Amino acid sequence: MRYFSTNKRSAGVGFKEALFHGLAPDKGLYFPESIPEFDLAFFRSEMTYCELASTLILPFVSEDISSTDLIKITESAFTFEIPLISLTADVQVLELFHGPTLAFKDFAARFMARCMEHLLAEEITILVATSGDTGSAVANSFFGLDGIQVVILYPAGRVSPIQEKQLTTYGGNVTALEVQGNFDDCQHMVKEAFSDESIIQRRPLSSANSINIARLLPQSVYYAWAWKQTNTDLPIVFSVPSGNFGNLTGGILAEKMGLPVESFIAATNANDVFPKYLQSGVFKAQPSKQTISNAMDVGKPSNLDRIKKIYNSSVNAIREDIVSWGFQDDETKNAIRNTMARYDYLIDPHTAVGLLGLEKYRQEKKEHHTGIVLATAHPGKFADVIEPIVGEKVVVPLQLQKAMEKEKNSITIPAHYSYLKDFLIDT
């Protein structure tokens, strides 16, 4: 499998090169030259999660990773449960937060870390921007790996206290840079570093953001797993809390590989550039707005370029598969409160946005279907936000309690690339 830039100005590369380079030389995102297809019998067949993951991912990596090694990688990466919870007969929640950092980013980060560890030939620096959960997942997944340094940029005051502790308390080969700006500033600084030859010549760089194709491949798997668990003949609709749109892109990949999906719902918070894009047909980036679903506070989602690639830049084709709405914090709070009252089920703010998207879809679409909401984070990570909403104490898992007891260790820098450049040169 060869990978080409979405900007179409760079030569094709193999998986290993796409993995370690992260971003193409022309600043585009790597995308596979073709998408393998599987028949319905495959998706219906009995298999473990790791068997499913290895089979779906193998065509994308086979030139660099054998089927035997890929099985070992998936078995090492995906060691936690992935329950599908029924709120009603036709509303289900896929809990993706049972990994070590209690967020869905564990799937991609752990897979990527093990791929890099398997293929590493020289020392490398992982440079990543985070709006919360990516940073903690990457820190946990790469901590202690020989030959790999990790530098995490996060926006000051725009991640939850627990998220901040999770990404700033590892030390060792993990450094946290607290940027005096927003997530888009962090993401822009990372992209600048990847195009700076004076940095690249000093130290090889890679990214663990969803700009890296290795982040997307494992995210396609749990869509197929959820579909297999439903045991229904009804059409399946996935509602995806969306920020940088890597999670949604993984779902679209699964559909293009043959998974039967009726529709995707791209549920956003007040950072609603994608719903506006579908409405107008013209994409306009906007400064990110701070919300209680902070991991989705993205005003210029990177993976929109990959979505456009999949649909040949046809907004009408995108509209056929994807609907999208944005929701405000007040609506998010009400969804958390109502879900607890109706179902005795506690959700985090991002999952709440996903539920709002599904409710909107069910109001506008009258056909009978099964809706699956992706639950992207454990509510305990947002206890400070949720407790005033539901009026009761939120149980914080032990691993989060331990993280909160640790001392924060970060370096504060202004939101300007020159400061990141100086850091990379001096360390």
Domain range annotation of the chain: 75-100+215-396
Percent of the residues in the chain that have a pLDDT greater than 90, as a whole number? 79
Question: Looking at residue 29, what DSSP letter applies?
Answer: B
Q: Please give the pLDDT value at position 240.
A: 98
Which of 81-95, 301-315, 349-363, 393-407 is predicted with the least confidence, judged by mean pLDDT?
A: 393-407
Q: How big is the CA angle at 235 (ends 229 and 239), to the nearest 5 degrees?
A: 75
Neighbouring CB atoms inside 10 A of 306's CB total: 26
Band of pLDDT at residue 340, cut at 50, 70 and 90: very high
* Tokens at 235, concatenated: 């059409």
* Tokens at 74, concatenated: 């998936």
Query: How much is the average pLDDT of 205-221?
Result: 89
Q: Please give the pLDDT value at position 194.
A: 86
Query: How much is the average pLDDT of 199-224?
Result: 90
CA 93 to chain CA centroid, nearest Å: 17
Q: How many Å apart are CA 405 and CA 244, to the nearest integer? A: 30
Task: Summarize pLDDT for 120-148 with one digit per residue, the tens.
Answer: 988 999 999 987 778 889 999 999 999 99
CA 397 to chain CA centroid, nearest Å: 22
DSSP, collapsed to helix, strand or coil, labels residue 13 as strand
Q: Please give the pLDDT value at position 291.
A: 95
- Asked if the model's pLDDT at residue 182 lies above 70, the reply is yes
- Asked if the model's pLDDT at residue 352 lies above 70, the reply is yes
The answer to whether the beta carbons of residues 387 and 349 sit under 8 Å apart is no
What is the arrangement of strands in the sheet containing 236-241, beginning at the earlier edge strand? Answer: 84-88, 91-95, 370-375, 236-241, 263-268, 322-326
- Asked if the model's pLDDT at residue 203 lies above 80, the reply is yes
Band of pLDDT at residue 32, cut at 50, 70 and 90: very high
No. of H helices and E strands in the chain?
20, 13
Q: Please give the pLDDT value at position 21.
A: 87
Q: Please give the pLDDT value at position 209.
A: 77
Largest CA-CA distance found in the chain, in angstroms, rounded: 60
- Asked if the model's pLDDT at residue 215 lies above 70, the reply is yes
Burial of 243 (C-beta count, 10 Å sphere; 0-12/13-18/19+): buried
Query: How much is the average pLDDT of 107-129?
Result: 93
Percent of the residues in the chain that have a pLDDT greater than 70, as a whole number? 100
Mean pLDDT computed over every residue of the chain: 93
Neighbouring CB atoms inside 10 A of 325's CB total: 20
Task: Summarize pLDDT for 93-105 with one digit per residue, the tens.
Answer: 999 999 999 999 9
Band of pLDDT at residue 388, cut at 50, 70 and 90: very high
Exposed e or buried b per residue across 369-399, where buried means at least 16 C-beta atoms within 10 angstroms of its C-beta: bbbbbbbbbbbbbbbebbeebbeeebebbee
Task: Read off the amino acid at residue 295.
Answer: A
Give the relative orientation of helices 329-343 and 349-364 as an angle to the nearest 10 degrees. 90
End-to-end CA distance of the chain: 36
Ranked by mean pLDDT, the top range of 25-34, 120-129, 195-204, 263-272 is 263-272
- Asked if the model's pLDDT at residue 366 lies above 80, the reply is no
Burial of 128 (C-beta count, 10 Å sphere; 0-12/13-18/19+): buried
Q: Where are the beta strands (DSSP E) in 130-223?
A: 148-155, 174-180, 205-207
Strands 322-326 and 263-268: parallel
Q: How many Å apart are CA 296 and CA 288, to the nearest integer? A: 9
Q: Please give the pLDDT value at position 220.
A: 97
Q: Please give the pLDDT value at position 22.
A: 84
Q: How many Å apart are CA 318 and CA 7, to the nearest integer? A: 19
Query: How much is the average pLDDT of 34-42?
Result: 96
- Asked if the model's pLDDT at residue 208 lies above 90, the reply is no
* Tokens at 164, concatenated: 């901040």
Which residues, in sequence order, are bridge partners of residue 176? 152
CATH topology of domain 75-100+215-396: Rossmann fold (3.40.50)
The answer to whether the beta carbons of residues 191 and 183 sit under 8 Å apart is no
Q: Where are the beta strands (DSSP E) in 304-352?
A: 322-326
Region of 132 on the Ramachandran plot (φ > 0 left; ψ -120 to 50 alpha; else beta):
left
Strands 174-180 and 91-95: unpaired
Neighbouring CB atoms inside 10 A of 188's CB total: 18
Q: Please give the pLDDT value at position 211.
A: 82
Q: What length is written for the chain?
A: 427
Q: How many Å apart are CA 402 and CA 395, to the nearest integer? A: 13
